[in-house]
């Protein structure tokens, strides 16, 4: 079965938590491998796949143009569940996951996002990258994303029928609190740096030394100062919200002709 992947044409302003919107400038996600199963519950119950694709690819989730990536190989039948990884495969024989070529292409990441958060009158550039690896306390050898038993997924698989996996990043930020990227502080302790909106303030015993980040095309990172983009950490509220949305939220669609 010919397999393609594609992204989705999304709005310029995606909703985030609170009165904040996000404009995506880059949204690369590693997808694969992919397995379709006959049973209603993927995982251990899918000991024999109906069809599978054992490779991986970097998907530009902002580009709706389907890209051919290979073939799903197996037997005809009805699939009632699916499971997939995102560039890292959990192995039974070792605790270390197998990194696939597409993840290496993203310098060891499963996901790279860059965008701008619109908070009040500020435009705050940010970047987030992460790996999607099966946690150590979860059974090894099972893909990280599995369809839910009550998902209602069902698809007839026949030789030669094409499938396109379409990824839509629109809902990834609904629970993310980007407001935390904006700081509006005055100096209270010498030797520290704070942001007053997009003004960097280096605090001293006298008047603070101020620098207008926005006039230089930069953004003021809380407690750091002017920088090109704020790097969102994996364990932050924003990072956790995005990870949860991708692993447990809206799944890709599987489309035919």
Mean pLDDT of the chain: 93
Domain that holds residue 189: 183-221
Say what the pLDDT of residue 216 is.
96
Predicted structure pTM score: 0.93
List beta partners, residue 156.
78
Are 193 and 112 part of one and the same domain? no
Are 125 and 10 part of one and the same domain? yes
Q: In this structure, how many other beta carbons lie within 10 angstroms of the beta carbon of residue 178? A: 25
Are 248 and 135 part of one and the same domain? yes
Are 39 and 129 part of one and the same domain? yes
pLDDT in tens, 106-151: 999 999 999 999 998 899 999 999 999 988 777 778 889 999 888 8
What does the chain look like in DSSP terms, one character per residue?
A: -EEEEE-----SSEE-SSSEEEEEEEEEEEEB-EEEESSSS-STT-SS-SEEE---EEEETT--S-EEEEE-EE--EEE-EEEE-BSEE--SS-SSPEEPHHHHHTTS-SEEEEEEEEETTEEEEEEEEE-----TTS-TTS-SEE--TTS---EEE-TT--EEEE--GGGTTTT--GGGG--B----STT-EEEETTEEEE--SSSPEEEETGGGT-EEETTTEEESSEEPPTTSHHHHHHHHHHHHSSPPEEE--
Domain count, the chain: 2
Report the candidate in 206, 182, 179, 177 with the shortest Cα–Cα distance to residue 194. 182
Above 90 in pLDDT, residue 43? no
Residue 226 lies in a domain: no
pLDDT in tens, 210-256: 999 999 999 999 999 999 999 999 999 999 999 999 999 999 999 98
pLDDT in tens, 149-177: 888 899 999 999 999 999 999 999 999 99
Are 25 and 54 part of one and the same domain? yes
Are 90 and 192 part of one and the same domain? no
pLDDT in tens, 26-37: 999 999 999 999
Are 131 and 208 part of one and the same domain? no
Are 238 and 200 part of one and the same domain? no
Are 142 and 213 part of one and the same domain? no
Are 116 and 240 part of one and the same domain? yes
């Amino acid at each position: 079965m010919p397999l393609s992947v594609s992204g989705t044409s999304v709005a310029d302003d995606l909703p985030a938590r609170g009165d904040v919107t996000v404009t995506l400038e880059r949204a690369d996600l590693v997808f694969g491998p992919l397995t379709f199963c006959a049973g209603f519950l993927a995982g251990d119950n899918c000991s024999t796949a109906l069809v599978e694709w054992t490779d991986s690819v970097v998907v530009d989730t902002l580009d709706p143009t389907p890209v051919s990536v290979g073939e799903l190989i197996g037997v005809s039948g009805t699939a009632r569940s699916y499971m997939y990884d995102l560039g890292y495969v959990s192995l039974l024989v070792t605790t270390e996951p197998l990194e696939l070529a597409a993840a290496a292409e993203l310098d060891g990441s499963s996901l790279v996002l860059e965008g701008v958060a619109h908070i009040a009158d500020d435009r705050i550039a940010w970047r987030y990258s992460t790996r999607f690896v099966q946690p150590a306390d979860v059974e090894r050898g099972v893909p990280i994303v599995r369809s839910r038993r009550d998902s209602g997924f069902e698809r007839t698989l026949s030789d030669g029928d094409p499938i396109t996996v379409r990824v839509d990043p629109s809902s990834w930020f609904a629970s993310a609190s980007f407001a935390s990227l904006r700081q509006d502080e005055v100096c209270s302790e010498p030797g520290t740096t704070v942001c007053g909106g997009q003004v960097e303030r280096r605090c001293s015993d006298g008047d603070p030394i101020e620098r207008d980040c926005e006039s230089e095309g930069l953004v003021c990172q809380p407690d750091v100062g002017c920088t090109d983009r704020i790097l969102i950490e994996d364990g932050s509220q924003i990072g956790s919200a995005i990870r949860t949305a991708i692993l447990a939220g809206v799944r890709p669609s599987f489309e035919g002709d």
